[in-house]
């Protein structure tokens, strides 16, 4: 009766690559224990952790932020219902904000379709202030909508 899941099992359960799971570990997203031989052993709750990561990534959140969210969960004990509820609630807020931003853009675009983008002054797409996205070096992560 092996203690916990092997990394390959976790990969199968989540659909992630084994290499990705190890990579996430270097970013503090999962913190598996080790067995006698040095192999990683995961708890069942890690499946949910990684599923959460995948969902958040699909929304465009960077790993660093996801990791922060997850810091609210206990490392090796199974998280309580309250733990997950707290995180899920915050996540929901982020989703709502994102939906709101998209709807705003959509509404502006509606005006744009009407005008055919020919009246520059009033065109939403023309106004760069609406889409600020410079705040770091390297590739700007524009996947996150302006708050």
Binding footprint of DNA on the chain (CB under 7 A): 2, 6-9, 11, 17-20, 22-24, 35-40, 57, 62-64, 134, 136-142
Closest to 9 measured CA to CA, from 37, 52, 38, 39: 39
d(CA 24, CA 46): 12
137 binds, among its own copies, DNA, none (CB under 5 to 8 A by kind): DNA
Give the nearer residue to DNA in terms of CB position, either 59 or 123: 59
Closer of 36 and 81 to DNA (Cβ):
36
Q: In this structure, what token pair is assigned to residue 19? A: 């290499």
Q: Which does 73 bind (CB under 5 to 8 A by kind): DNA, its own copies, none?
A: none
Burial (CB count within 10 angstroms: exposed 0-12, middle 13-18, buried 19+), residue 84: middle
């Amino acid at each position: 009766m092996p203690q916990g899941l092997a990394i390959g099992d976790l990969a199968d359960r989540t659909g992630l690559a084994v290499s990705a799971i190890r990579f996430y570990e270097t970013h503090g997203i999962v913190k598996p224990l080790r067995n006698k031989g040095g192999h990683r052993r995961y708890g069942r709750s890690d499946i949910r952790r990684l599923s959460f990561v995948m969902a958040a990534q699909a929304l465009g959140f960077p790993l660093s932020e996801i990791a922060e969210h997850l810091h609210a969960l206990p490392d090796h004990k199974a998280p309580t219902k309250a733990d997950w509820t707290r995180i899920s609630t915050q996540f929901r807020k982020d989703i709502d904000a994102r939906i709101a931003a998209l709807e705003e853009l959509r509404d502006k675009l509606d005006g744009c379709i009407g005008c055919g983008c020919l009246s520059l002054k009033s065109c939403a797409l023309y106004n760069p202030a609406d889409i600020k996205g410079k705040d770091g070096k390297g590739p700007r992560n524009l996947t996150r909508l302006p708050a």
